[in-house]
Amino acid sequence: MEKKTSTAKSSSNSKQTSSQNNESKLLNKFFVDGLKDIYWAEKALVKALAKMEKKATSEELKNAFSQHRTQTEQQVSRLEQVFESIGSKAVAKKCEAMDGLIREANDIIDETEDKTMTRDAALIMAAQKVEHYEIATYGGLVQLAKTLGKNDAANTLAQTLQEEKQTDELLTQVAESTINIEAAEETA
Ligand code: FE
Ligand code: FE
Ligand code: FE
């Protein structure tokens, strides 16, 4: 019984890794396109997070954005490592979704008043929409990397996935512990 299970496992593993002509596979092309998309997004986020830090009201949120900006710079480098590990050139291709999410964050800055906690509450929501897009993207890319037998790439992408999840949780904490409560007291 046990033997059967392990045989089945190893045969499915060898299927995953016997990457005959992997580079020409359609799924591989989709994987590389996905990397280009998130590479564009992370680079755009380095700039967007700097603006969000500048426009946030509370020190707590400024610090959270500043920390995540540093992490995001590392995530850009990590993607360059992934491109290298699969023998592809690091190329950025515009991510329409992230472009839209960043525009939404900019609209929030325009539509909320400076130095209010309502600004911060709204910026946290905008930032969490970004993190959720990233979590979905990296989650999918880790799975594809594993399926394609690119284990180094999978591990590197999983590190970033973890950081995006932690950032999302940190933002929830910041919102719930102080910012939303103070924002609720503000009047026009
Ligand atoms: Fe990121
Ligand atoms: Fe995208
Ligand atoms: Fe992020």
Residue 147: band (very low, low, confident or very high) from pLDDT cuts 50, 70, 90: very high
* Residue % of the chain over a pLDDT of 90: 86
Cα-to-centroid distance, 42 and ligand 3 (Å): 8
Q: What is the pLDDT of residues 38-86, one digit of tens each?
A: 999 999 999 999 999 999 999 999 999 999 999 999 999 999 999 999 9
Distance of CA 14 from the midpoint of ligand 2 (Å): 31
Whole-angstrom distance, CA of residue 164 vs CA of residue 178? 22
pLDDT digits (tens, 9 = 90+) for 115-132: 999 999 999 999 999 999
Distance in Å, CA 91 to ligand 1 centroid: 16
Q: How far apart are CA 162 and CA 143, in angstroms?
A: 14
How far does the centroid of ligand 3 lie from the alpha carbon of residue 164, in Å?
A: 5
Q: What is the pLDDT of residues 3-38, one digit of tens each?
A: 444 444 444 444 444 445 677 799 999 999 999 999
- 34 CA → ligand 2 middle, Å: 7
Distance 143 CA to ligand 2 centre (A): 16
Is it the case that residue 149 has pLDDT exceeding 50?
yes
State the pLDDT at residue 14: 44
Domains of the chain: 30-185 (1.20.1260.10)
Contacts of residue 30, defined as CB under 8 A and 6 or more positions apart, other chains included, come to 144
Distance 19 CA to ligand 1 centre (A): 29
pLDDT of residue 7: 41
Closest CA to 105 of 181, 47, 188: 47
In Å, what is the CA distance from 114 to each residue of 58, 72, 75, 138, 175? 11, 25, 30, 34, 18
* Nearest ligand by distance to the CA of 164: 3
**42 CA to middle of ligand 2, Å?**
10
Q: Note the pTM of the prediction, 2 decimals.
A: 0.88
Ligand 2 centroid from CA 40, angstroms: 8
The whole-number pLDDT of residue 108 equals: 97
pLDDT at 188: 84
CA of 140 to the centre of ligand 2 (A): 12
Compute, in angstroms, the gap from residue 101 CA to the centroid of ligand 1.
13
What average pLDDT does range 164-181 have in this prediction?
96
User: What is the pLDDT, as a whole number, of residue 20?
Assistant: 53
| pLDDT tens column, 98-111 | 999 999 999 999 99
